[in-house]
Structure 1
Amino acid sequence: MRPYRDLAPSLRMIMTPGPVEVDPRVLRAMSLPILGQFDPEFTEIMNETMGMLQKLFQTGNRWAYPIDGSSRSGIEAVLTGLVEPGDRVLVPIYGRFGHLLAEIAERLGAEVLTMEQEWGTVFEPEAVIRRMRETRPHLVAMVHGETSTGRVQPLSEVGRACRELDALFVVDAVATIGGMEVQTDAWMIDAVIGGTQKCLSVPSGMAPVTYNDRVEAKLHRRKRIERGLRDSTNAPTNEGAFIRSNYLDLSQLQDYWSPKRLNHHTEATSMLYALREGVRLVLEEGLPERFARHRLHGEALSAGLSAMGLELFGDPSCKLPMVACVNIPEGIDGESVRRMLLHDFNIEIASSFGPLQGRIWRIGTMGYSGRKSNVLHTLGALEASLLRHGFGANAGAAVQTALDVYGRDV
């Protein structure tokens, strides 16, 4: 029998909207020795991580901790904790991940109300607020940064309206946390879900979340009802209040992350090291500086793409700073260009979903992938690939234009 070969993945320049290149300091942290999950040294790392996450989410919330699993686990945990069968849940959809929020709420038995905006645009906040006043939802769930379309949704006015109408406001900030402003408290967001594999430059495998007292009050109410039903010999009268998951039960998870340290699961030790280091690097850089860096690289990439002769997709007034969506030129095989970038230049860019599949490329400048050298190499490689495919790119213009953008920042 032939032995399995050593694992040796190719070294890629990952310029997608996630996952992205992992910061070498994060990889180093993941190689550190394992501690037991109740070792005082480890619980202190847990406490430090919670404090760092509060700063990352710009919140005074008591609860800010990671859920073990990909970003979707965080979304499911929050919605599972907050959505009871029959609840009206409003989901404004302007891309692929709005549909995901609606699907999860529907699986939880909610009465899901949707409104849709053409992909490449976002909602005027007043349109969402008007629909809220008409339908009086128990919960509003929105995506902040929609990587399928490269757009970012304004949230502050919606958050204020949710508070006025006593609706809970849940936000998917998977793509934006650590890369642009996510002001949990100022925007009156009740629960926010972040992601590790995008602007934090940490591998996928944890979902940092934060939520406020309004959310905690609903969790406590559901648990009180559940305990009463389990202790009662009478037939259940409100089974819908049960939180339908053990692993994704926020009330149990917060006991695990509280000083009680009630055993719920075995913590993903190396992933917690990674998250702590990733967030530490964000805070060390400084949130304003971090956000400015993401804007700069996004502007340089977009300017270079336009100078090359490519057309950017979507409404520029709501562009996500760290994702450029590019219309694939007519007559060009988009997948062939992506293959050439990968095989000849070791650069990965992304296609898209749904109605945009085969119509656009998506190029990310997130976290550690957002570096000047990456942007310049990507522009040069894309130009060369397009020339080989017969597109009349303005040779040399892309890199020179990006350098001009970087020169303005000196």
Structure 2
Amino acid sequence: MRTYAELSPTPRTILTPGPVEVDPRVLRALSYPILGQFDPEFTALMNETMEMLRGLFRTENNWAYPVDGTSRSGIEAVLNSLIEPGDRVLVPIYGRFGHLLHEIAERCGAEVSTIETEWGTVFDPEEVIAAIKRTKPQIVAIVHGETSTGRMQPLEDIGRTCRELDILLVVDAVATIGGVPVETDAWHLDAVIGGTQKCLSVPSGMSPITYNDRAERKVLARKRVERGIRPPGCVEPEVPRRPIQSNYLDLAQLQDYWSPARLNHHTEMTSMLYGLREGLRILHAEGLEARFARHRLHESALVAGLTAMGLALYGDPACKMPVVACVTIPEGIDGESVRSMLLELFSIEIASSFGPLKGKIWRIGTMGYSCSRKNVLHFLGAFEAVLLRHGVKLPAGAALQAALDVYSEAR
């Protein structure tokens, strides 16, 4: 019988737009003893997690909890629960993940309208507002931060218009939550989906979401009572005409599970909840404003170093995400060879891109625990060395000096 070596993954400096390095305190929390999902000690942890999520999303919403599964599970749960077949849905697309929202909305049976703009840019909010007035959707679904292009869409004016017209606004904030402000209430966002594996520095496996009373009313209008577990004397209601197709990703049932009633729906991911709670505790201990400032500082140092090398940054700088830098691959350079050398010789991982940008840009993430001075300086020194080995002519030493200047000025 074959024997297998003990698991021992190589330590990496992960500077991709996700996943990122996990805070050691979160890793420690993941190892704690298991509690039963209805143990009062565990349900108290669930309540604390919901409370901290409200603070993260900057909302007074009743519902703020994680969906068990990767970030896509949260997106699917929200869209499957809100979209009824035949609903008109508008999806503004400015990168890969807008196309994902389009696909999921179509799978839900929506009549989807899209508008698109050039990758590397975002929409003027007035363009989206004009499309809203033209297509008259019931739901608008949009990405806040597109990691495929490193751009971030302004949402405040779009949210205000959707609220005035009684349209639900669903936002994919997977890449931005915990790294940049996401103002759920102030921007009139009806449902927001986050992710754990990016700026929260928790392993992939949960998708924090929040939604308001407006969204909840639509969810509950499609609710059905599960057969076999209704309370004594409960008469089976008429089955809604268009019930939510998924059982696992049904927000009506998930919120019953997270409510004080704790109606059994699934077995909660105990260890992952420990990790998420610890990640949120760390975030609130740092403070949201301090955390946002940390991301801006290390982005500034990274961009200064890249610019000092003479490299071109991809995309419109006016809408750049503070947590992802996109670099145009110099002509004649094999981008995958550069990435491989960084990984093999320096144990640093950066990302390539997708679709029309495949082979054209590198994407460098400074998110969560990975967003540190040590990582930025380590990367710039290694990146310079690797580019020189690939024949790129650049001013040796300039990148680190430029980044150090940023850090000196920030003291």
Which residue does 1:401 correspond to in 2?
402
Specify the alignment match of 2:231 in structure 1: none
**SS state at 1:21 partner:** coil
Give the partner amino acid of 2:28.
R
CA contact (8 A) 1:226 1:242 kept: no
Q: Deviations over 1:322-357 (max 9, x none)?
A: 100000000000000000000000000000000000
Q: How does 1:1-400 map to 2 (within 5 A)?
A: 1-223=1-223, 231=237, 239=241, 241-400=242-401
Q: 1:29 to 1:252 in 2, by over 3 A?
A: same
Deviation at 1:309, TM superposition (A): 1.2
Q: What is the percent sequence identity of the aligned residues?
A: 72
How many Å separate the matches in 1 of 2:394 and 2:347? 21
**One-letter amino acid of the structure 1 residue matched with residue 376 of structure 2:** V
CA contact (8 A) 1:380 1:398 kept: yes
Query: What SS class does the counterpart of residue 222 from structure 2 fall into?
Result: helix
Distance in 1 (CA, whole Å) between partners of 2:252 and 2:10 is 41
Distance apart, 1:229 and its partner CA: 12
Deviation at 1:226, TM superposition (A): 10
SS class of match (1:280)? helix
Output the CA distance in 2 between the equivalents of 1:374 and 1:280.
23
1:218-238 Cα distance to aligned partner (Å, 9 max, x none): 111112699999755xxx8x6
Structure 2 residue matching 1:223: 3-state secondary structure: coil
- Paired residue type of 2:219: L
**CA–CA distance in 1 between the matches of 2:353 and 2:188?**
31
**Aligned partners of 1:113 and 1:396: how far apart in 2?**
50
**Count of aligned residue pairs for this structure pair:** 405
Are the equivalent residues in 2 in contact too, given 1:65–1:208 (CA < 8 A)?
yes
Q: Secondary structure at the match of 1:261?
A: coil
Distance in 1, matches of 2:237 and 2:150, equals 50
Contact 1:305 1:379 in 2 (8 A): yes
2: CA distance, partners of 1:103 / 1:394: 45
Residue segments in structure 2 that go unaligned for 5+ positions in a row: 228-233
Post-superposition CA distance 1:113-140 (Å, at most 9, x none) = 0000100000000010011011110000
Contact 1:53–1:65 under 8 Å retained in 2: yes
Relative to 1, partners in 2 of residues 1:389 and 1:399: Cα closer, same or farther, differing over 3 Å? same
Q: Secondary structure of the equivalent of 1:256?
A: helix
Whole-angstrom CA distance in 1 between matches of 2:144 and 2:235: 38
Residue type matched to 1:15 in 2?
L
Query: Residue 67 of structure 1: SS of its match in structure 2?
Result: strand
Structure 1 residue runs of 5 or longer lacking an equivalent are none
Rounded to whole Å, the distance in 2 between the matches of 1:339 and 1:135 is 46
Task: Give, in whole Å, the separation in 1 of the partners of 2:245 and 2:116.
Answer: 29
**Maintained 8 Å contact 1:179/1:291:** yes
In structure 1, C-alpha distance between the alignment counterparts of 2:249 and 2:236, rounded to whole Å: 20
What value does the CA root-mean-square deviation take over the aligned residues?
1.5
Using the alignment, how far apart are the partners of 1:103 and 1:172 within structure 2? 14
- 2:87 corresponds to which letter in structure 1? D
1:281 partner amino acid: I
Contact preservation (8 Å) 1:162, 1:168? yes
Q: Contact 2:17/2:367 (CA < 8 Å) preserved in 1?
A: yes
Query: What TM-score do the two structures reach when normalised by structure 1?
Result: 0.97
Q: Matches of 1:153 and 1:47 in 2, distance apart?
A: 32
TM-score with structure 2 setting the length = 0.97
- Offset at residue 393 of structure 1 (A): 1.7
TM-superposed deviation, 1:2: 3.0
* 8 Å Cα contact 1:192/1:209 also seen in 2: yes
Contact 1:147 1:323 (8 Å CA) reproduced: yes
Query: What are the superposed Cα offsets for residues 13-45 of structure 1, whole Å, 9 maximum, x if unpaired?
Result: 000000000000000100111000000000000
